[in-house]
Copies of this chain bind each other. A is one copy, B any other.
Amino acid sequence: MYTPNTKVIDIGKRPIEDYVFEAVISFQEGVDEIILKGRGDFISRAVDVYWALKDRLGDSIELSNIEIGSERVRGRMRSYIAIHVKRKY
């Protein structure tokens, strides 16, 4: 669910640590759920970001859902992943 307290972080080619930092700050600011979204070649990177974030925050977060989807971009299908991470406390 995309509640007001959900933040979507689009994973691209910036360093993994940038996305981890963005997620940590968002949780500190009161966001309850973060969705790490990676498309095409960035799917692998979204998974890497998840593990780097898990290393950083440990048991204070949990993986609540993983979706894989496919969407049409300029006439061709492109796969994506959406990794839902919740703050536990």
Q: Which residues of B contact A21 (CB under 8 A)?
A: none
Contact of A70 with B51 in the complex, beta carbons under 8 Å: yes
Chain A, 57-80, contact with B by CB distance < 8 Å: what is the 0/1 string? 000000100111010000001011
**Total A residues in contact with B, Cβ cutoff 8 Å:** 20
Q: Is the interface of A mostly helix, strand, loop or mixed?
A: strand
Q: Does A50 contact B (CB under 8 A)?
A: yes
Cα–Cα distance between A70 and B52 once the two chains are bound (Å): 10
Cα–Cα distance between A67 and B51 once the two chains are bound (Å): 13
- Checking B48, B51, B81, B83 against A47 with a beta-carbon cut-off of 8 angstroms, the contacting residue is B81
Cα–Cα distance between A67 and B63 once the two chains are bound (Å): 10
